[in-house]
Chains A and B, each alone.
Chain A
């Protein structure tokens, strides 16, 4: 059989763009160009600009693929110029999926920071799809200000799902904010799960990853149960170009999620 070109992105139109914050939007595509599992990522092509790796923020069971993206660099800058109906390209899925079947009957502890909550949403929606399989799903999510919270319209709906417990914090509140104030670790003073068995999932900016992981380790989570989304420069996505290497791991193939057990001996693994 002839080899499929792993560098070719599947063209697909943007169905809708939902602004989440002043610099974060959710891009909904017209369908599911690739079948992914929670934890895997894709390379998104902005025609003529380039491509960059993103984990979908939608459920693997959804009809349309979604990416929630912050405008930070060249490719995302180009993406934010696009409109509904414009063409993008998708390559993937890449990397390893979460071993969801290992989490059955357990409490799940999800910690997100800023736009880092986007890939965790895909995991959350995959868990919600079979919510009865899990003892309870906890979400602890922090953003800089109330205006920086993504999915603020959806969160009240998720809070009503039986078996879901969500707590939020912002670094700096405002006149309307009635929730907790402080960095995301303020939500980790009390962790109501069986620390010996529960898996924890962390995604956010490097400093947040560092301090949350430190807190989870101190709290007593098993190192192999702390799943960390590694933000690295995945150029090819297929373990060849070498850009995303962290120690002996290709984050694009062995990740994009690695456990604390995998990376704890690496100096500054989140940088």
Chain B
């Protein structure tokens, strides 16, 4: 993979150039939280590539919370605009990988997701300052982009060290090559240290790994154990809506004049009526069953089909939880 240096002085110019053919979203740090905002010339440009992932999950860039997926009786196609996600973290890359598996790599392809995904260039950023909620190291995610992104950047003293992963990433760099410099020797060394430090910090935050056979342990956990784990849950579903890997959705139809719009909305498997059928039968009528099912879905079923956990270790579920239920504590106990 090729390395380039984007000097600090050129970052704004680079974003400005990108914004000429699409929307550019970049991270800012405000009130103790990171957010992705859209670049506009009139706004002060103060990106932050070092703090942890955004407070909001980023799935809505591809899989919006409300999306018209079909029109009836005559359908129309979704057309997405080009967009650049600049500075997202590797935990969110895990989320995108989950969605790619579900919506593109598993037939039939979801045309809405595919259209948005193909129009998106992902420039991820290293995560050198993991926070107490982070546990990417426990679920097989590194604190830096190593795939799924087109380019990954690492903040170094001279600017951003860029590693290119795809031909689209290569095209972006070659189109604006006058803004980039050779990576040299110092910046890669700095990157190595940054990554080592981030991993060390993550090791301190999460010193205990999940057990090797965690999937089987979840399967065998039993209702009593899960009852104990969910006892403080107030069913606000924040954990599920904030999750960058949850992909449950519901289809509903709405009248729009003489036509019908089929709308897809995010759903949450904790809802009591989530699996209920027309006749009234409900396979998971108790919260404990639904709570348990979430763990099975992420660590057992998805892992069995795709070979990795549908969990990114981003900690948004813990941060968003009204009862401060920590998924790690539950898994460590199993």
Residue numbers of A with Cβ under 8 A of B are 2-9, 11, 45, 47-52, 70, 72-76, 87, 89, 205-206, 231-233, 235-236, 238-248, 268-271
Query: Given the interface contacts A3-B108, A5-B111, A11-B73, does A246 sit within 8 Å of B251 by beta carbon?
Result: no
Contact mask B259-284 → A, CB, 8 Å, 1/0? 01010100101000011111111110
Query: Given the interface contacts A4-B108, A7-B264, A89-B72, does A48 sit within 8 Å of B253 by beta carbon?
Result: yes
Evaluate contact between B253 and A248: CB separation under 8 angstroms: no
In-complex Cβ contact of A245 among B249, B264, B279, B297 (8 A): B297
In-complex Cβ contact of B108 among A45, A47, A48, A238 (8 A): A238
Query: Given the interface contacts A5-B69, A52-B278, A236-B251, does A248 sit within 8 Å of B106 by beta carbon?
Result: no
In-complex Cβ contact of B301 among A3, A50, A74, A245 (8 A): A245
Query: Given the interface contacts A3-B114, A8-B70, does A235 sit within 8 Å of B278 by beta carbon?
Result: no
Q: Does residue B102 face the partner (Cβ distance < 8 Å to A)? A: yes
Across-interface contacts of B253 in A (CB, < 8 A)? 45, 47-51
In-complex Cβ contact of B278 among A3, A76, A89, A246 (8 A): A76
Across-interface contacts of B300 in A (CB, < 8 A)? 248
Across-interface contacts of A2 in B (CB, < 8 A)? 111
Q: Does residue B103 face the partner (Cβ distance < 8 Å to A)? A: yes
Evaluate contact between B260 and A271: CB separation under 8 angstroms: no
Closest 6 CB pairs of A and B: A73-B278, A11-B73, A8-B70, A7-B70, A7-B69, A3-B111
Evaluate contact between B255 and A48: CB separation under 8 angstroms: yes
**Contacts A/B (CB < 8 Å), 14 sampled:** A3-B108, A9-B72, A11-B72, A45-B253, A45-B260, A47-B73, A48-B260, A87-B73, A232-B283, A235-B251, A242-B248, A242-B249, A243-B248, A243-B267
**Distance between A52 CB and nearest chain B CB, rounded to angstroms:** 6
Q: Does residue B165 face the partner (Cβ distance < 8 Å to A)? A: no
Evaluate contact between A242 and B247: CB separation under 8 angstroms: yes
| Nearest CB in chain B to that of A6: its residue | B108
Q: How far is the CA of A246 from the CA of B297 in the complex (A)?
A: 11
Across-interface contacts of B81 in A (CB, < 8 A)? none
Contact mask B86-121 → A, CB, 8 Å, 1/0? 000000000000000011001011110010000000
In-complex Cβ contact of B267 among A205, A241, A246, A247 (8 A): A241
Q: How far is the CA of A73 from the CA of B69 in the complex (A)?
A: 24
In-complex Cβ contact of B252 among A6, A50, A72 (8 A): A50
Across-interface contacts of A70 in B (CB, < 8 A)? 279
In-complex Cβ contact of B277 among A231, A248, A269 (8 A): A231
Q: How far is the CA of A6 from the CA of B252 in the complex (A)?
A: 15
Q: Does residue B304 face the partner (Cβ distance < 8 Å to A)? A: yes
**Distance between A240 CB and nearest chain B CB, rounded to angstroms:** 6
Evaluate contact between B277 and A233: CB separation under 8 angstroms: yes
Across-interface contacts of B306 in A (CB, < 8 A)? none
Across-interface contacts of B323 in A (CB, < 8 A)? none
Interface size class of B (residues with CB under 8 A): 35 or more
Q: Does residue B192 face the partner (Cβ distance < 8 Å to A)? A: no
Give the contacts of B148-196 with A (CB-CB under 8 A): none
Q: How far is the CA of A7 from the CA of B73 in the complex (A)?
A: 12
| Nearest CB in chain A to that of B75: its residue | A8
Q: How far is the CA of A45 from the CA of B70 in the complex (A)?
A: 12
Q: Which of A5, A269, A270 has the most CB of B within 10 A?
A: A5
Evaluate contact between B70 and A5: CB separation under 8 angstroms: yes
Q: How far is the CA of A48 from the CA of B317 in the complex (A)?
A: 35
| Nearest CB in chain B to that of A75: its residue | B278
Evaluate contact between A47 and B247: CB separation under 8 angstroms: no
Across-interface contacts of A89 in B (CB, < 8 A)? 72-73
Evaluate contact between B73 and A240: CB separation under 8 angstroms: no
Q: Does residue B236 face the partner (Cβ distance < 8 Å to A)? A: no
In-complex Cβ contact of B72 among A3, A47, A72 (8 A): A47
Evaluate contact between A3 and B251: CB separation under 8 angstroms: no
**Distance between A112 CB and nearest chain B CB, rounded to angstroms:** 15
**Distance between A211 CB and nearest chain B CB, rounded to angstroms:** 15
Across-interface contacts of B247 in A (CB, < 8 A)? 240, 242
Across-interface contacts of B269 in A (CB, < 8 A)? 242
Evaluate contact between A271 and B282: CB separation under 8 angstroms: yes
Q: How far is the CA of A241 from the CA of B252 in the complex (A)?
A: 12
Q: How far is the CA of A134 from the CA of B189 in the complex (A)?
A: 73
Evaluate contact between A6 and B110: CB separation under 8 angstroms: yes
Across-interface contacts of A87 in B (CB, < 8 A)? 73
Q: Does residue B250 face the partner (Cβ distance < 8 Å to A)? A: yes
**Distance between B191 CB and nearest chain A CB, rounded to angstroms:** 37
Across-interface contacts of B103 in A (CB, < 8 A)? 240
Query: Given the interface contacts A11-B73, A233-B276, does A243 sit within 8 Å of B250 by beta carbon?
Result: yes
**Distance between B34 CB and nearest chain A CB, rounded to angstroms:** 29
Q: How far is the CA of A206 from the CA of B282 in the complex (A)?
A: 10
| Nearest CB in chain B to that of A248: its residue | B301
Q: How far is the CA of A270 from the CA of B267 in the complex (A)?
A: 23
In-complex Cβ contact of B110 among A8, A240, A268 (8 A): A240
Q: How far is the CA of A268 from the CA of B110 in the complex (A)?
A: 32
Across-interface contacts of A9 in B (CB, < 8 A)? 70, 72
| Nearest CB in chain A to that of B289: its residue | A267
**Distance between B252 CB and nearest chain A CB, rounded to angstroms:** 6
Evaluate contact between A72 and B278: CB separation under 8 angstroms: yes
Contact mask B282-320 → A, CB, 8 Å, 1/0? 110100000001000100110011000000000000000
Across-interface contacts of B254 in A (CB, < 8 A)? 48
| Nearest CB in chain A to that of B249: its residue | A241
**Distance between B290 CB and nearest chain A CB, rounded to angstroms:** 11
